[in-house]
Structure 1
Amino acid sequence: MKTHTQLVILACLALGIVKNEAFSQQHNNDMDRFVSELMSRMTIDEKIGQLNLVTAGEAVTGSVVSTDVESKIKEGKIGGIFSMSTPQRIRAAQELAVNHSRLKIPIIFGMDVIHGYKTMFPIPLGLAASWDMELIQETARIAAMEASADGLNWTFSPMVDISRDARWGRISEGSGEDTYLGSRIAEAMVRGYQGDDLAAHNTLMACVKHFALYGAAEAGRDYNTTDMSLHRMYNEYLPPYKAAIDAGAGSVMTAFNDINGVPATANKWLMTDVLRNQWGFTGFVVTDYTAVNELIDHGLGDLQEVSALSLKAGVEMDMVGEGFLTTLKKSLDEGKVSAADIDRACRLVLEAKYKLGLFEDPFRYIDDNRAKEVILNAEHLAKARTAAGKSFVLLKNEGHVLPLKKQGTVALIGPLTNTGANMPGTWSVSADLENTPSLLEGMCDALGNQVKIVHHHGSNLLEDAAYQERATMFGRTIPRDERPEQEVIAEALAVAGQADVIIAALGESSEMSGESSSRTDISIPAVQQRLLAKLLETGKPVVLVLFTGRPLTLTWENEHVPAILNVWFGGTETGKAVADVLFGDVNPSGKLPATFPQHVGQVPLYYSHKNTGRPLADGQWFQKFRSNYLDVSNDPLYPFGYGLSYTTFAYGELTLSTTELQRDGKLQVSVDVANTGDYAGEEVVQLYIRDLAGSVTRPVKELKGFRKLHLAPGQSQQVTFDLTEEDLKFYNAELEYVAEPGEFAVFVGTNARDVQEKRFTLQ
């Protein structure tokens, strides 16, 4: 229950008598008094207990499961539990804490609610392809509504790591390669999870991760080291984390990697100097799974030493490893940590619980009736279907193969045809995999008796059985056909022979991307490519429906397959959404948030690269003594921001309101965009800039704005972007955030490659 004072203040707010700022200050004062009084009654063991985050093991997200949880709760040795999603178990654990521990301090309950709770939305890389911030925020809002009804109040999301290396499996969990787009998505996700009132019963505390630079791990290999200049850090990799912090994220998770020699979990410069002193973060920091213990293998000392290092660096909560629980008291006695270090960490954890309203009502997030109303309800499933359709990217549509007509017979062929468990994609730990419709089931449901669908698996997911087992963990099994490959393909071709059109459902399984799923070969598996080649030999129209959690090398497919629709992993309603797009009920509008290379040897490949002192001339493939390859051009297969539509869009001439931008002024960049095709459609108009002469080298293009338009056939609309000095700022060699005078180029177009250019000067 709220106090009388709080109720009076809330009533005054409704009448406009008390300003939000005053209420916020009063709330902070109340929180400070409450936490201070509570801590005055806590023993050192109870304070350290608040820093201990354990797992209940319901949803597998790591290799260690905590033990003896019940007795530790009673002893006040647990501050939080994650991967417990059964409401009855959450209630029972909370009852132990508030009824059987000495000080009755409630537990915070977390889970990896990454792209949906029970209603699964597209993987984050797919959601990023929508370029729709309102939609992305709404998916996070729905996830919070569902998860909180089952008793959760903390999510380990958003993952905002910039990644430009498609070999890294966790690129699927983030928003791609771009700083600006990633920052806008980070803000939207935090707002969606946390809402306007973190203590509301239907919100989740966000946890921005992985701080920091995890997406730049060397060789694209998970958990690997990161070595990066401060200049690149501040300009390209840190902004999305800061955007999430500025949006109010309540917690931050450390990264596994080391950063210029110091692992993130023990990096005081990162956790204290940057996060708190420079950015003003006031929430708490939690490690990733056993990250404190892993500092031993990093070479920083034994468990006691690394636990002390982490605490003093600015980490407040230890996930699973229990190094804090078992060593901090000894370190305090030996002077390796101070009482102030422990108090600081304990206070921040308790403040988070206060902000979540857990001290007022420890059970506010558990509501069986609300769970029945909101989880997987019709509205949420409809939004999942919409989100999936908006995430799909049409990569090729030669001869207008798509959209298909709702008539005749369609052959659905491929190992991803009938596996519902793989549709949600990686990091869908709370999904009901047994009851998720497969692509086949979803399409049949969406199309009814309008189209006859015949189907066959066509091939194994991977030729190597051991590799396939690694790629289908955590219940994502795809049965293997141990017959000779030629026999299986022949059977598939017989099925395809009955059809007018072939839909080839190929690509990765869901666990071929995600954590600990790095790949050196990022092509479609060879056994699937051979099936695809045989399907093309039939002479029938072939549509490749591509499942992937990362950019793939599709050079051969792009050359030979007439139509390619990248559907990522679309979530619960994948099958229906695929039918919507293939048969024209939804016009695809997704745009790539990450560059697709021609060859894995180009990786890392991204649009906002530096020019070098020997750039290759435009239109050239190879020139001796220039920055290029002997065997492949520098060009991507599909550039950042790329995506086709069933309609066509024409851009008018780009215009600038002035060619001289004053320091306190505004420059308007305008272009008319017209739908010149036969279908209503959405277009993402993208604005990029280039600083043509700076005190340090600058990227050839940087995204600085975008607009998503919906245009009917024949309709046009003027799009205007406002550029100010703020848009031109960057961190210089001294890490000063400045806009330097001089000439700039501004580009507007449909992707990072296909743009118009104008010039202006900052005075």
Structure 2
Amino acid sequence: MSKPSEQASRISSINNQTLTELLGQMTLDEKIAQLLQLAVPFYEGAEGDGLITGPMESLGISEETVRNSGSVLGMAGAAETINVQRVHLQNNRLGIPLLMMADIVHGFKTIFPVPLAIGCSWDLELAEQSAVIAAKEASVSGVHVTYAPMVDLVRDPRWGRVMESTGEDPYLNSEFGRAFVRGFQGTDLANDMDRVAACVKHFAAYGAAEGGRDYNTVDMSERQLREFYLPAYKAALDEGCEMVMTSFNTVDGIPATGNSNLMRKLLREEWGFDGILISDWGAVKELIAHGIAADESEAAQKAIQAGVDIEMMTSCYAKHLSELVENKEVDVALIDEAVMRILTLKQKLGLFDNPYRAADPEREKEIVFCDAHREAARELAVKSCVLLKNEDVLPLKRNGKIALIGPFAQSGDLLGPWSWTGSKEDVVQLADAMKSKLNSSAELVVAAGCDFETATEAQWVEALAAAEAADVIVLALGEHSDMSGEAGSRANIQLPEVQLELIRKLEELGKPIAVVLFNGRPLDLHGVYDKVDAILEAWFPGSEGGLAVADLLFGDANPSGRLTMSFPFSVGQIPVYYNAFNTGRPQGAPDAQVKYVSQYLDIPNEPLYPFGYGLSYSLFDYSEAQISSDIMTADQSIKIAVKLTNKGEVAGEETVQLYVRDISGEVVRPLKELKDFRKITLQPGESCEVEFELSESQLRYYHSDLKHYSDAGAFVAYVGPNSKVNTELPFKLTK
């Protein structure tokens, strides 16, 4: 091993030469090793044994390959990352530092609400702040790259990974994608040590997996792909996102990880992306199971030709690229360009100057999970919760007797999936948070009632006794965190039957019932919405979620969240989403027989709760909607305004939403499309005019020739509290 002084000299030498010169010094095997990403246990200096023999043998790679590898998956903790980097540099001939990458999806140690919940805040500033905080905690703990944001457009709540997305709308997903990238990366990765590089995922259309089943087939037209699914990825890249992760699914019959049309032609040539493209876990080798590669060698060939720079957790590149180059089946230039992209990011992050970057065990203790970060998480959790129903139950009174019942009453499982460095033990439980709100004459009686999916007779008895003695019942119900997230697909998206039975038993008492839902997806709420008086959708609200929910239940905060993913009336409607196309026989068609229209015979067409929906303790009134002109031109925008009044008794925040419908397009157009929104805070009795400016560029769409432009013709604008708004403001675009 090299001495520390020799190691420092070698790093200094790298700094004094160009990356091209460094690439020229590398052997083919050293280049190929840079394309390999392995998990923490493979590395010397990691906690535990490091360089575990079994995993290396299972991958068919050598110790030397590991010592020349380019990046680590899932490493965090300042002391450990420093130690692994130090040992690696001692063993690496050219002193090329490792990239430390991890899934910092909605917080590092301070866990924010899951991204679907963050989307429901409609608050881009708080979303960006959450990424700033996550980056700061991750960076001081030794992380260089986060696998976020996930911007997959989602329309099927059976898919467990909807919790990682911000919803069903391409415009809103794009805005949140930009905000997260800004927060993670800042503007100067080399000098801003509190930032990390971002990796947008999963490219592309992972959210459209058939049947909502994870890893499943995706099949759609290119026009549909460009119109709805690609915009958010493009927005993240336009914001400067450094990396892209491939998706597991097929795109036009070809798995994304081996899809040259998607990765080379669209991502790299058309969009001009020259950053790192990384596979998802094992996705290169999975080309075999997909059926486009006969063996690992062919999988390696197709992935490198498609432009995949880093292979995550399989070894097709490490075992076969050298032979493929020797046999002239792969041009070494493809490997060189991949290595150069990896070296370039390492240089952008300043790793050749300081391979340990911001990792600092002492500063880590001060920053990670600090009070300021926890307060920010609480604020965003408050903004993310959505009040779905309220019949004079909420806010709760601080006196009297409250029964808090359910598996989430005293649970730390509020973090949700992809919160791997968060601690359930650090979560303030809902029961404790509610107790802190009560005055001395009040009483909170707590009972589990049931577990998530089972119950004992003793639990039933305890819950009924608590409820019978109470003035009001609060039920804390939902999915445990393993029921959503990756590989968390569910065909039945109702609450588990035992929880529905708990509701039925307590409903018989005839007392007011408020339900708080903790979950990672929109649910089929039959057996809930029709049996209780109030529903607060809390999602998985993060480290400070218990406190945030208590703030809302007792009126210390006013609910302001609005849905960014529709709640289905029934799973049989799925996919159900607001920006759907019309049919030739829509409901209400005047010239069709009643039965022969596009409808279900047994359920409504509409979701139970639509996109943009959410209630408040305030009462907002919309009036005097107006449009500045009924003619728009390519050069002249129009203004749309509405008077908003808070007719309630408490101050509140309203999300005013602007939608547009294109009446006649060259291809069919959605019934409504979100174009803009404003978040407005008003005191009781206060009014203001909310104004939007709408321009021709916002009316463009992809035509049948896949070109993006607008059509002259008739349009309708709608402004209101959610996607069901019906106030019509017609106008025409002339060219």
TM-score, L = length of structure 2:
0.93
Q: Residue 114 of structure 2 is aligned with which of 88, 106, 123?
A: 123
Q: Which residue of 2 aligns with 1:148?
A: 139
Q: Does 1:272 align with 2:264?
A: yes
Q: Which residue of 2 aligns with 1:644?
A: 615
Q: Please give the per-residue CA displacement for 1:131-156, whole angstroms capped at 9, x wherever unaligned.
A: 00000000000000001111001000
Contact 1:66–1:320, Cα closer than 8 Å, also in 2 = no
The amino acid that maps onto 2:329 is: K
Q: Residue 541 of structure 2 is aligned with which of 566, 570, 577?
A: 570
3-state SS, counterpart of residue 636 of structure 1? coil
Q: Which residue of 1 aligns with 2:335?
A: 342
Q: Which residue of 1 aligns with 2:40?
A: 56
Cα offset, 1:409, TM superposition: 2.2
- Distance, in Å, in 2 between the alignment partners of 1:252 and 1:169 is 21
Cα offset, 1:698, TM superposition: 0.5
Cα offset, 1:411, TM superposition: 1.1
Q: Summarize the Cα distance change of 1:93–1:445 in structure 2 as closer, same or farther, 3 Å threshold.
A: farther
Q: Does 1:105 align with 2:96?
A: yes
Q: Which residue of 1 aligns with 2:87?
A: 96
3-state SS, counterpart of residue 78 of structure 1? coil
Q: Residue 382 of structure 1 is aligned with which of 364, 370, 375?
A: 375
The amino acid that maps onto 1:176 is: G
Alignment of 1:544-693 (within 5 A): 544-617=515-588, 623-693=594-664
Q: Which residue of 2 aligns with 1:492?
A: 463
3-state SS, counterpart of residue 569 of structure 1? coil
Deviates more, 1:84-93 or 1:339-348: 84-93
- Distance, in Å, in 2 between the alignment partners of 1:240 and 1:378 is 33
3-state SS, counterpart of residue 655 of structure 2? strand
Contact 1:55–1:65, Cα closer than 8 Å, also in 2 = no
Q: Which residue of 1 aligns with 2:402?
A: 410
Q: Summarize the Cα distance change of 1:608–1:355 in structure 2 as closer, same or farther, 3 Å threshold.
A: same
Q: Summarize the Cα distance change of 1:723–1:353 in structure 2 as closer, same or farther, 3 Å threshold.
A: same
Contact 1:688–1:748, Cα closer than 8 Å, also in 2 = yes
Q: Summarize the Cα distance change of 1:36–1:575 in structure 2 as closer, same or farther, 3 Å threshold.
A: same
Q: Residue 190 of structure 1 is aligned with which of 176, 181, 184?
A: 181
Q: Summarize the Cα distance change of 1:208–1:75 in structure 2 as closer, same or farther, 3 Å threshold.
A: closer
Contact 2:32–2:317, Cα closer than 8 Å, also in 1 = yes
Q: Summarize the Cα distance change of 1:170–1:621 in structure 2 as closer, same or farther, 3 Å threshold.
A: farther
Calculate percent identity across the aligned residue pairs.
Answer: 45
The amino acid that maps onto 1:702 is: E
- Distance, in Å, in 2 between the alignment partners of 1:622 and 1:393 is 39
Cα offset, 1:439, TM superposition: 2.1
The amino acid that maps onto 1:85 is: A
The amino acid that maps onto 1:633 is: P
- Distance, in Å, in 1 between the alignment partners of 2:152 and 2:198 is 15
Contact 1:402–1:583, Cα closer than 8 Å, also in 2 = yes
Q: Please give the per-residue CA displacement for 1:294-336, whole angstroms capped at 9, x wherever unaligned.
A: 1110012200101110011011000011211111111111112
Contact 2:426–2:543, Cα closer than 8 Å, also in 1 = no
Q: Which residue of 1 aligns with 2:699?
A: 728
Q: Which residue of 2 aligns with 1:426?
A: 417
Q: Which residue of 2 aligns with 1:312?
A: 305
3-state SS, counterpart of residue 709 of structure 1? strand
Contact 1:595–1:639, Cα closer than 8 Å, also in 2 = yes
- Distance, in Å, in 2 between the alignment partners of 1:65 and 1:739 is 59
Which ranges in structure 2 are unaligned for 5 or more consecutive residues?
1-13, 48-52
3-state SS, counterpart of residue 705 of structure 2? coil
The amino acid that maps onto 2:371 is: A
- Distance, in Å, in 2 between the alignment partners of 1:526 and 1:598 is 17
Count of aligned pairs: 708
Cα offset, 1:73, TM superposition: 7.0
Q: Which residue of 2 aligns with 1:521?
A: 492
Cα offset, 1:87, TM superposition: 2.1
3-state SS, counterpart of residue 511 of structure 1? helix
Q: Which residue of 1 aligns with 2:513?
A: 542
- Distance, in Å, in 2 between the alignment partners of 1:431 and 1:449 is 34
Q: Which residue of 1 aligns with 2:3?
A: none
Cα offset, 1:619, TM superposition: 12
- Distance, in Å, in 2 between the alignment partners of 1:602 and 1:461 is 26
The amino acid that maps onto 1:98 is: L
3-state SS, counterpart of residue 394 of structure 2? coil
Cα offset, 1:260, TM superposition: 1.7
Deviates more, 1:133-142 or 1:329-338: 329-338
3-state SS, counterpart of residue 756 of structure 1? coil
Q: Does 1:460 align with 2:487?
A: no
Contact 1:461–1:525, Cα closer than 8 Å, also in 2 = yes
Cα offset, 1:652, TM superposition: 1.3
Q: Does 1:371 align with 2:364?
A: yes
- Distance, in Å, in 1 between the alignment partners of 2:314 and 2:281 is 7
Deviates more, 1:447-456 or 1:707-716: 447-456
Cα offset, 1:585, TM superposition: 0.3
3-state SS, counterpart of residue 291 of structure 1? coil
- Distance, in Å, in 2 between the alignment partners of 1:146 and 1:179 is 30
Q: Please give the per-residue CA displacement for 1:424-458, whole angstroms capped at 9, x wherever unaligned.
A: 01111111223323222333345585743211110
Q: Summarize the Cα distance change of 1:109–1:541 in structure 2 as closer, same or farther, 3 Å threshold.
A: same
The amino acid that maps onto 1:389 is: V
Contact 2:146–2:199, Cα closer than 8 Å, also in 1 = yes
Cα offset, 1:689, TM superposition: 0.6
Deviates more, 1:273-282 or 1:607-616: 273-282
Contact 1:76–1:102, Cα closer than 8 Å, also in 2 = no
Q: Which residue of 2 aligns with 1:176?
A: 167
Q: Which residue of 1 aligns with 2:6?
A: none
Contact 2:144–2:349, Cα closer than 8 Å, also in 1 = yes
RMSD of aligned Cα (Å): 2.1
- Distance, in Å, in 1 between the alignment partners of 2:614 and 2:593 is 27
The amino acid that maps onto 1:581 is: L
Q: Residue 231 of structure 1 is aligned with which of 220, 223, 229?
A: 223
The amino acid that maps onto 1:380 is: H
- Distance, in Å, in 2 between the alignment partners of 1:449 and 1:519 is 44
- Distance, in Å, in 2 between the alignment partners of 1:415 and 1:234 is 43
Cα offset, 1:86, TM superposition: 2.7
Contact 2:494–2:525, Cα closer than 8 Å, also in 1 = yes
The amino acid that maps onto 2:38 is: V
Q: Summarize the Cα distance change of 1:173–1:619 in structure 2 as closer, same or farther, 3 Å threshold.
A: farther
3-state SS, counterpart of residue 653 of structure 1? strand
Q: Which residue of 1 aligns with 2:316?
A: 323
- Distance, in Å, in 2 between the alignment partners of 1:180 and 1:648 is 27
- Distance, in Å, in 1 between the alignment partners of 2:591 and 2:375 is 47
Cα offset, 1:37, TM superposition: 1.3
The amino acid that maps onto 1:678 is: E
Q: Which residue of 2 aligns with 1:475?
A: none
Cα offset, 1:635, TM superposition: 1.3
The amino acid that maps onto 1:87 is: A
- Distance, in Å, in 1 between the alignment partners of 2:376 and 2:615 is 23
- Distance, in Å, in 2 between the alignment partners of 1:294 and 1:505 is 40
3-state SS, counterpart of residue 514 of structure 2? strand
Q: Which residue of 1 aligns with 2:154?
A: 163
Which ranges in structure 1 are unaligned for 5 or more consecutive residues?
1-29, 464-480
Q: Please give the per-residue CA displacement for 1:654-702, whole angstroms capped at 9, x wherever unaligned.
A: 1111111011111111111111100100000000111111110100000
The amino acid that maps onto 1:278 is: E
Alignment of 1:389-400 (within 5 A): 389-398=382-391, 400=392
